[in-house]
A and B are shown apart, each in its own frame.
Chain A
């Protein structure tokens, strides 16, 4: 199984900060990686797919980079609505896995 290691697990930040979350795969996954935002009591919401493609309707302050085994999600200028938990997700036709999550709080 491919394991996804996400860091940090918690991140304290302020409005306007640039924030970066990292996700590492235990072996190469090419660009089969997505990022989600989840707020309490809600289903996850897709932000990025194929490592760097911005989902329709998602603000441009969110961006994704990487390929192979190392990936990042960056929020260029943190907004009040961005305080939430973020997950990376590796996908292919035979396996999938989520990172442990990163809680972004004040």
Chain B
């Protein structure tokens, strides 16, 4: 079974750093683009960026460039999303999701269960 399993809910204080994870199983992790999506009640779904785990090529939305870092450990089949300094506006649910096509970017067919991040 193809799965993306995300790390558990986090509660952090403003200014703290945080790294959440997304572990893949059931497919070749290195040859599918993986995206990160933020969801807040006020702004719906927001595209944060994509990463190709095979070579860690990462592309960011201008809205998130410089605020977060995407990375991937191909040996652990795990992707990460990291903040150096959180603020209250980072409070949201964060999803990782896999491209429907091998090697080529497409819609996201497999989603993680979401990680709730609360900054307060």
Q: Could you tell me if A100 and B44 are in contact, using CB atoms closer than 8 angstroms?
A: yes
In angstroms, Cα B77 to Cα A68, docked, is 36
Q: Could you tell me if A44 and B111 are in contact, using CB atoms closer than 8 angstroms?
A: yes
Name the residue of chain B whose CB is nearest to the CB of A87.
B45
Q: Could you tell me if B62 and A34 are in contact, using CB atoms closer than 8 angstroms?
A: no
The interface residues of chain A lying within 8 Å CB-to-CB of B95 are: 43-44
B interface majority secondary structure: strand
| Known contacts A43-B112, A44-B111, A92-B105; A97/B44 CB under 8 A | no
Q: Does A1 contact B (CB under 8 A)?
A: yes
Q: Could you tell me if A50 and B106 are in contact, using CB atoms closer than 8 angstroms?
A: yes
In angstroms, Cα B109 to Cα A44, docked, is 9
In angstroms, Cα B44 to Cα A46, docked, is 16
The interface residues of chain B lying within 8 Å CB-to-CB of A50 are: 106-107
Q: Could you tell me if B105 and A55 are in contact, using CB atoms closer than 8 angstroms?
A: no
The interface residues of chain B lying within 8 Å CB-to-CB of A36 are: 107-108
Q: Does B67 contact A (CB under 8 A)?
A: no
Q: Does A95 contact B (CB under 8 A)?
A: yes
The interface residues of chain A lying within 8 Å CB-to-CB of B49 are: 96
Q: Does B70 contact A (CB under 8 A)?
A: no
In angstroms, Cα B108 to Cα A91, docked, is 10
The interface residues of chain A lying within 8 Å CB-to-CB of B72 are: none
In angstroms, Cα B97 to Cα A93, docked, is 15
Interface residues of A (CB under 8 A from B): 1, 32, 34-36, 43-46, 48-50, 55, 87, 89, 91-101
Interface residues of B (CB under 8 A from A): 35, 37, 44-47, 49-50, 59, 61-62, 95, 97, 100, 105-109, 111-114
The 10 closest A-B pairs by CB, nearest first: A34-B107, A49-B107, A96-B47, A43-B111, A98-B45, A46-B109, A101-B44, A49-B106, A46-B107, A49-B100
Of the A-B pairs whose beta carbons lie under 8 Å apart in the complex, a sample of 26, sorted by A's number, is: A34-B108, A36-B108, A43-B111, A44-B37, A46-B100, A46-B109, A48-B107, A49-B106, A50-B106, A55-B100, A55-B107, A55-B109, A89-B45, A89-B47, A89-B107, A89-B108, A91-B107, A93-B105, A94-B59, A95-B47, A95-B61, A96-B50, A98-B46, A98-B47, A99-B44, A101-B44
